[in-house]
Amino acid sequence: MFWPLAWALRKHYGKPLTLDSQGLKWRRWLRIVCFIDIVYVIGLVMLVSGENFPLGLNSAALTKIHLLQVIGLLGGVGAILAIVAALKSWGDQTQWFWYKLWNTLLAIGCVFFFWFIWHWNLLNFNLNF
């Protein structure tokens, strides 16, 4: 959601996004990671807010839960990618400080999001009710 704001700030301060091909690739991967995390949250909300949630756990619902858990694991892998991208941005001296800070905050957010879903056992593939 903050990417348009970052674009506006770069435009206001006359600081264009100067990324090489490697930096653009990492930026694309970070957007994919954020998209995966958003899909996970939307899927979880849709699953929990369903009409038959507590009582209607049939095989189709269990399949949806497992699919959601796989998406959550992809978010965990994405958190690792976000950490690597943040470290790479800090190593690049041509990048603006705020871009480096943004990548760091994004990595921290991805790690804490994965920790949250791991801590609350939302990735437990043993569905014992």
Run means of pLDDT, 10 residues per run, the chain, 129 residues? 76 81 89 95 87 65 89 96 95 86 94 96 81
- Helices (H) then strands (E): counts for the chain: 4, 0
Q: What is the pLDDT of residue 33?
A: 96
- Asked if residue 39 belongs to a domain, the reply is yes
Among the listed residues 91, 126, 92, 90, the one whose alpha carbon sits nearest the alpha carbon of residue 106:
90
CB 48 within 8 A of CB 66: no
Expressed as residue numbers, the domain containing 85 is: 22-48+57-119
Own/partner pairs, 8-11, CB within 8 angstroms, 24+ separation: 9/98, 10/96
SS3 90: helix
Q: What is the pLDDT of residue 106?
A: 94
Please give the model's pTM, rounded to 2 decimal places. 0.83
Q: How far apart are CA 92 and CA 84, in angstroms?
A: 13
- Asked if residue 7 belongs to a domain, the reply is no
**Structure tokens that stand for 3 in this block:** 């990417």
CB 104 within 8 A of CB 86: yes
Q: What is the pLDDT of residue 125?
A: 85
Q: How far apart are CA 23 and CA 88, in angstroms?
A: 8
Give the total number of structural domains in the chain.
1
Q: What is the pLDDT of residue 52?
A: 58
